[in-house]
């Protein structure tokens, strides 16, 4: 009983990248934000400036602004990728990654006019070309091919991770705006600026960390693809380091706690 209680109360170790769930991805992005706070906070200036210029205008003007801010948003994503490794990449790799990011970003303003999900699906398939160009020192075409390979390695995880990051940002920023705003247009704009500045870096950092998850999930195209786990890669509730069954056809799967 003592061993069972100790195991249940202990914090399970983080899962490796190839089995890391979306919740852990967000948690790691928050930890990175805390560890590199000031550098990460600067990432929020781009989206905050765009939203301030778009404030009070129609959606068509906002779409034009999204295109105009494309190079800056791409540069912010590249900066987040550099923050995720605590390394200073060479200038050539940075320039290539920004160029790749601008190209990948071009359809996004139109896609989100339809709905946010098509835009996120596009980024899930091709957006990881940016960290691929930065970390793997790939040229333009090689980065695009590698980004597509990373995106389809586990498309559900890539799309779910981006959607969760955007959802967290949207809910948290809306709540912060409600808390900070008071009567008057200037107060509402100031609340929106603070929400963008503080919360939008989480999206950039989470998308940068998603590269490592997808890179670990890539399998050799000549071999069999690994299947997604039926238990969502959750650790055992009682024994976090419990070994798996050696032969699925010989030994039956042990009953879950409470079903014995």
User: What is the C-alpha separation between 145 and 142, in angstroms, rounded?
Assistant: 5
Which of 84, 30, 27, 83 is closest to 209 using CA atoms? 84
**Residue 237 CB: number of other CB atoms within 10 A?**
14
- Alpha helices of 42-154 — where are they, by DSSP H? 44-54, 59-68, 70-85, 91-105, 108-114, 116-126, 129-135, 140-153
- Given a contact cutoff of 8 angstroms between Cβ atoms, the answer to whether 96 and 136 are in contact is no
pTM: 0.79
pLDDT confidence of residue 210: 97
pLDDT confidence of residue 6: 47
> Considering Cα of 132, then 219, then 142, then 112, what sign does the dihedral take?
negative
User: What is the C-alpha separation between 19 and 155, in angstroms, rounded?
Assistant: 14
- Overall average pLDDT of the 76-104 stretch: 95
pLDDT-derived band at 183 (thresholds 50, 70, 90) equals: low
């Amino acid at each position: 009983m003592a061993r069972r209680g100790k195991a249940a109360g202990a914090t399970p170790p983080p899962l490796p990248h190839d089995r890391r769930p979306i919740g852990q991805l967000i948690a790691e992005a928050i930890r990175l934000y805390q560890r590199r706070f000031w550098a990460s906070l600067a990432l929020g200036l781009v989206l905050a400036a765009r939203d301030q210029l778009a404030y009070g205008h129609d959606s068509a003007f906002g779409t034009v602004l999204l295109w105009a801010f494309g190079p800056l948003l791409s540069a912010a994503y590249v900066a987040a990728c550099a923050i995720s490794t605590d390394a200073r990449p060479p200038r050539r790799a940075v320039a290539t990654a920004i160029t790749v990011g601008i190209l990948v970003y071009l359809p996004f303003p139109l896609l989100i006019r339809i709905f946010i999900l098509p835009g996120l699906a596009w980024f899930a398939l091709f957006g990881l070309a940016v960290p691929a160009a930065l970390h793997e020192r790939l040229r333009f075409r090689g980065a695009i091919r590698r980004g597509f390979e990373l995106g389809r390695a586990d498309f559900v995880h890539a799309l779910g991770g981006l959607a969760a990051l955007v959802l967290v940002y949207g809910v948290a920023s809306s709540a912060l705006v409600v808390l900070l705003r008071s009567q008057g247009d200037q107060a509402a704009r100031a609340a929106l600026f603070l929400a963008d500045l503080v919360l939008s870096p989480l999206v950039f950092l989470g998308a940068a960390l998603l590269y490592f998850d997808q890179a670990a999930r890539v399998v050799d195209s000549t071999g069999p693809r690994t299947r997604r786990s039926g238990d969502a890669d959750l650790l055992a509730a009682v024994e976090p380091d419990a070994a798996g069954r050696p032969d699925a056809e010989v030994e039956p799967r042990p009953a879950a706690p409470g079903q014995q």
